[in-house]
Amino acid sequence: LFLASMAFVYFAKAFGGAYMKSSITQIERRFDIPSSLIGVIDGSFEMGNLLVIAFVSYFGAKLHRPRLIAIGCLIMAVGSFLTAMPHFLQGPSVHCSFKFLILGFSCEKAVGSSMWIYVFLGNMLRGIGETPIMPLGVSYLDDFSREENTPFYLVGILGPMFGFMLGSFLAKIYVDIGFVDLDSITINHKDSRWVGAWWLGFIVTGTIILLSSIPFWFLPKSLPKQGQEQSQSKSTELAPVGEQENFLPEENQEHDEKEKSVTFQELAKDFIPSLKRLFRNSIFSLMILTYLVAVNGFIGAITFKPKYLEQIYGQSASKAIFLIGILNLPAVALGIITGGFVLKRFKLGIIGAARLSITASLGASCMFAIQFFIHCENADVAGLTASYQG
């Protein structure tokens, strides 16, 4: 049940994260904000994650891990709903019709407000909520399941693909669907002024994340190791915390609470020394730096590539998002599966794994470099790149 629940929550969180990436260009147009600010908004997820990750990873391992994951999912859902909030607080989107420009009428500017702050805070909440899922979920699996069962959570890799598919679909639907007469709209989704129904996807992803939290409220704090028989003496220990308290006398409960508080204080005292020991490990620090560089490049590409495809190759937002989802993200899944197969098939150790990683990284860098030489010619713009005469 925990494996199935983890697969679902991994799918849900990846689904929401990918949808956020696919909505970047739509949010930029809706609030009329620069790409530099969009980068800050997108990075608010990592900001929220960074605020609590060390504390959650350290203290969470000693607490009720399934319930912490459930709480995290709840916070993520709230963040998704908060991200969609500006649509209901702000008036309908207004675009400039070409015939109005010809006649000399000025266009009303209904965008450019500070409503983007809701998106920033909502994305930060998602980052905070996602914090317990990865470290606590994986450690729970490692503690109580057989080694060969742990890869099942990788089914969550389907989440990003579905997130981008949803983003591509909603990019074709006008932002104010249900609020305005769609027949009165004079542009379509291929127009550069078009804004899709970005807010609707956050309601969908928030609902799915909320549903994914339900099983974790009912899972026990600990389980018997898979394949081992449960002893009679541990039957009370394996019950949920609420049921355990019913079995204990009041005096024992008070003693147990005092013991827990002391244990927590001892853990807190060891928190800073533990961090120091980690970062004094040169291999650990090097792996952190490597991961930092790798993720920085990948996140930058996946976030702004839809806009790149729109501006450099003249593609619609919907098609650009679709291409990212259908091509790039399955390659991630293929890399994980292929990497695991190669490591197992050739029984590569730590050095072999490092060599495989270097080879893959160099190959990826070469493929990225090709993009410098593949582009369309810039369109001529009268008064900018071409004269008005002719």
Q: Look up the pTM and report it.
A: 0.75
Average pLDDT, rounded, for the chain: 79
Is 60 a residue whose pLDDT tops 70? Answer: yes
Partners of 180 in beta bridges = 177
pLDDT at 146: 62
Structure token digits, residue 292: 């930092």
Q: How many residues does the chain have?
A: 390
Q: How far apart are CA 206 and CA 3, in angstroms?
A: 21
Q: Which two tokens stand for residue 284?
A: 């650990």
Residue 361: what pLDDT?
Answer: 86
Q: What is the pLDDT of residues 290-326, one digit of tens each?
A: 888 888 877 888 888 888 888 888 888 889 888 888 8
Q: Is the pLDDT of residue 100 over 50?
A: no
CB 135 within 8 A of CB 57: yes
Q: In the chain, pLDDT over 70 holds for what percent of residues?
A: 79
For residue 184, give both structure tokens: 């009165």
Domains of the chain: residue spans and CATH: 2-238 (1.20.1250.20)
The confidence score (pLDDT) of residue 253 equals: 46
Q: Is the pLDDT of residue 235 over 70?
A: no
Lowest-confidence segment of 13-17, 106-110, 315-319, 379-383 by average pLDDT: 106-110
pLDDT, tens digit, 9 for 90 and up, residues 193-218: 788 889 999 999 999 999 999 999 99
CB count in 10 Å sphere of residue 272: 9
State the average pLDDT over residues 22-28: 89
Please give the Cα distance from 62 to 58 (Å, whole number).
8
**What is the average per-residue pLDDT within 113-128?**
91
Which pLDDT tens digit goes with each residue over 168-187? 999 998 888 877 777 777 77
Position 389 scores a pLDDT of 80
Stronger pLDDT, 154 or 45, i.e. the higher one = 45
- Half-sphere exposure at residue 200, Cβ-oriented, CA atoms within 13 angstroms: 17
pLDDT at 245: 43
Query: What is the three-state SS of 93-146?
Result: CCCCCHHHHHHCCCCCCCCCCCCHHHHHHHHHHHHHHHCCHHHHHHHHHHHHCC
Q: Residue 383 pLDDT more than 90? A: no
Q: What is the pLDDT of residues 242-286, one digit of tens each?
A: 444 444 444 444 444 444 444 566 667 777 888 888 889 998 898
Average pLDDT over residues 134-159: 69
